[in-house]
Structure 1
């Protein structure tokens, strides 16, 4: 079977909401994101097709002919997926608890702790469901780890930790570059970067090398050739292979630091207090002992790892 050629799926979901309601503002409220984030997703989809899908009016939007053609296909596909999903969920045992996360968080933070969680709570059959995007309330999840959150009447959000970001590399790479003493010393080294396509799906502004250097008071020249990666797990693999220096998020690289596979280059970190990760759960599950146990366990693990709650 040939691989399907698909546009950005998160942008399609945003497009469907905006098309159905003829409003970027209402789509933002439904998806629990900012209006600017909706506009960004729509622009990404229009860039993908090199077509205008919406006609922008003062307080509303309307579809172009091409936009209406896409709406019919997307609406039909999403409706079929929703119907099938509801049918499958209805067959699940009440013993199961689903936790939605990003793939990076699932692989690098949760999986190393999965066995310990199961030993602590053998009565909870946890379904860990991951994807490239941060979960949002339009997906109707039970519980989730969300990268940023906007209040929604159907959900309760508990802050877990803020991001802590710093450069990392292998001990071997560090030994080969004894000149590294401060941020300026990184300018001539191979730097591994998350590409712009990664940040299009995030609520926050990019935290890439350009942003990090500016926080250090350093403005890089335009002529640079960072290696670009579309996923953090791919970037981390490249760092482990000794290809260069990458920006590490403390909650995602701590296991590699503890094992000695990676080293932190400088004592100081960038503490991004505004970039908060939340444990989010549906209000209908507020009295569930399984949800309470998962919430308390997550908070305990964050405290043990030295994470900072907000």
Structure 2
């Protein structure tokens, strides 16, 4: 059965003209020209083979056919407006689900959650731990926070937030700390380095940037997740490597030292959203995350006295052999 309808633009032009009693005012409301409204009205009149308006002095008035169409169209547009407003209200009140690997969640998001909720009270953020939130086989969240490298996965809109910076960290209570500080960077060649299978290239990337030959790296205890690796470092089990933002709080609190600094990698902190999703809250969240990640404290953590001492040694370190 045919369900032919006239152009929606023509019906919008008619509804606005009938409601406002003026072609000019309808054109202004719809942000089009007077001529565009007139053409749309003619489309309807030609389809019905009847006039919808008649001249009344300097204005216009609805014909009997125009009044019938107005009553039907106005009710339909009212329902559309009410339905659209309800959908927007429900969307704004629904939780915003952010997928996030557990290490980023525990070491960066949760310590800043109170500030985020204070700054963006309408967001109603719901954090969903997910080791690979961009995996297409998983249920897609409203957005995903991750550290990743291009090429970006298909089907996602990527908001780049900040470059990743990585560097070695060690506990002030580590038994082998003193010779490390005294010998500087070359001492790492004799160290059984803590590492994680989730970031296999972290140590080689940092070593390349600092002139250490890759065959000089000696690996010790490995961990499946970055979170476990950093807990091991805090516990004084050895030297680990991590993104600067994930160890900032530990460095400021004196739980970890970063004697050899951080280097930028090819990866970035990103906020990824499904391309099909259009939500005004995404831009607000991306702006907030970008500012938090790029703040002075987050890019280069404040150094405690032990870290300053360690850096004084590394500034005088001998070239790697």
The reply to whether TM is greater than 0.5 is: yes
Q: CA deviation at 1:256?
A: 0.7
CA contact (8 A) 1:167 1:247 kept: yes
Counterparts of 1:170-249 in structure 2 under 5 Å? 170-173=171-174, 175-177=177-179, 179-195=181-197, 198-199=198-199, 206-219=200-213, 224=218, 226-249=220-243
Give the equivalent residue in structure 2 for 1:142. 142
**Which structure would you say has the larger RCO, counting Cα contacts within 8 Å and 6 or more residues apart?**
1
Deviation of the 1:269 alpha carbon: 2.4
Cα distance change, pair 224–278 in 1 and its aligned pair in 2 (3 A): closer
Deviation (angstroms), 1:220: 5.4
- The SS at the match of 1:298 is helix
Structure 2 unaligned residues grouped into runs of 5+: 1-89, 301-321
Report the Cα offset of residue 233 of structure 1: 0.9
Query: Normalising to structure 2: TM-score of the pair?
Result: 0.57
Q: Which residue of 2 is the match for residue 300 of structure 1? A: 291
Please give the per-residue CA displacement for 1:282-310, whole angstroms capped at 9, x wherever unaligned: 34443x332222122111211224449xx
Specify the alignment match of 1:276 in structure 2.
268
- Listed one character per residue, the Cα deviations across residues 242-290 of structure 1 (whole Å, up to 9, x for unaligned) are 1111112102111111111111112x42211x2122111234443x332
| Pair 156,132 (structure 1): closer, same or farther in 2 beyond 3 Å | closer
Deviations 1:207-230 (A, max 9, x none): 243453344333355894511111
Considering only CA atoms, is the larger Rg found in Structure 1 or Structure 2?
Answer: 2
Aligned equivalent of 1:87: none
Q: Any stretches of 5+ residues in structure 1 without a counterpart? A: 1-90, 200-205
CA distance in 2, matches of 1:126, 1:100: 10
SS in structure 1 of the partner of residue 132 of structure 2: coil
